[in-house]
């Protein structure tokens, strides 16, 4: 697995997603879109307008906080 979470500070759903991944001992890289203009531009180009965005190996797993999609994607 190569999990990336695109988020921003103060985002409640982003915090919930981080907590979920940590509780399931999943390693992930976090990208703050307010600090990474290229990441923000990439998400916009994909038509994504809500956070967080969870990717596994550059494939979008879910947008927003969606436990069921993450459970399925990560075999939990």
DSSP string over 20-75: HHHHTT--EEEEETTT-HHHHHHHHHTT--SS-EEEETTEEEEES--HHHHHHHTT
Q: pTM score, two decimals?
A: 0.93
Q: What is the CATH number of domain 3-65?
A: 3.40.30.10
Per-residue pLDDT of the chain (76 residues; tens, 9 = 90+): 899 999 999 999 999 999 999 999 999 999 999 999 999 999 999 999 999 999 999 899 999 999 999 999 999 9
| pLDDT for res 1 | 82
Q: State the pLDDT at residue 17.
A: 98
Can you read off the two tokens belonging to residue 6?
């695109």
Q: Determine the 3-state secondary structure of 9 from DSSP.
A: coil
Position 10 scores a pLDDT of 95
Q: Buried b / exposed e across 33-56, counting CB within 10 Å, b at 16+?
A: beeeeebbebbeeeeeeebbbbbb
- Ordered by start, the domain boundaries in the chain are 3-65
């Amino acid at each position: 697995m190569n999990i990336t979470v695109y988020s921003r500070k103060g985002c409640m759903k982003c915090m919930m997603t981080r907590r979920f991944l940590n509780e399931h001992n999943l390693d992930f890289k976090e990208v703050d879109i307010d600090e990474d203009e290229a990441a923000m531009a990439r998400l916009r180009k994909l038509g994504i307008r809500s956070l967080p965005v969870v990717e596994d190996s550059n494939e979008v797993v879910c947008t927003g906080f969606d436990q069921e999609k993450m459970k399925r994607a990560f075999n939990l």
